[in-house]
Amino acid sequence: MHNKRNKTIDNSEPSGNIEGTIHECVHFILCREGSKIPIKRSEIKDHLNTTCQMPPSEINGIIVQAEKLLKRIYGYKLVQIPSKTGIQYIAVLEEPCEESFLSTTVDLHQRQLLIAVLTHIFMSGGSVKDGDMWTFLSEAGLLKETDNAGKKILTNLFTKQHYLTYTKVGESELAKHIFQWGQRAKEEVPKMFLLKKMAKALDREPSDWTEQYKDCSL
């Protein structure tokens, strides 16, 4: 009876192979997170099956344990995002942080664009029509209205990274596209950071914008 009980306890602990698989899962997620493109659950499963010979039936438990390790060691959490092609994740810091947000992109121009776009959406009540966005960026000297390649940074790259959503509203000639914050921006970007930058640029106080200031406090 005593031996049987010990055997049950031992089986509840991760084996060496499982521990190695968990660490490989964490390593894969951290490497992939550098691109800011969501990570498909199927990609994690295929990678672990190839590198660690992990049985597909163990994927759920491995991801749960990997997330615990991500939180404990690196301060990251996994966020599942809506997708029509299967389960996908983004890894973000548990607490939004200015330093993390400022280092999200290596390209300085893209970083300036991202901060400007998210700030404009935030200060405009949560959504901005694409035509209004192009006008704003042009007047700010960040993007010419004829720069189609530059526009794709917003409509393609930032949407793939889930900093933005770019949604068609309406039909036929009345159709328009609007920009809104994506899931990564909601999880990763401190709104107060954007409001303080706006206030500093205009030599005002963040509390001067009542609605936005209240939103930052929620």
Q: Each residue of 161-206: pLDDT tens digit? A: 999 999 999 887 788 999 999 999 999 888 999 999 899 999 999 9
pLDDT above 80 for 115 = yes
The single residue listed with the structure tokens 């001067």 is: 208
DSSP string, 16-50: HHHHHHHHHHHHHHHHHHTT-PPEEHHHHHHHHHH
Beta bridge partners of 176: 169
Total-model pTM: 0.84
pLDDT above 90 for 87 = yes
Total length of the chain? 218
The pLDDT mean for the chain works out to: 88
Count the alpha carbons within 13 Å of 9 in the hemisphere toward its beta carbon. Answer: 6
* Residue 125: both structure tokens together: 């009540």
Which of 202, 176, 7, 183 has the alpha carbon at shortest distance from 81?
183
pLDDT above 50 for 12 = no
Q: Are 62 and 25 in contact (CB under 8 A)?
A: yes
Which of 58, 92, 65 has the alpha carbon at shortest distance from 78?
92
Domains of the chain: 2-93 (1.10.10.1200), 98-217 (1.10.10.1210)
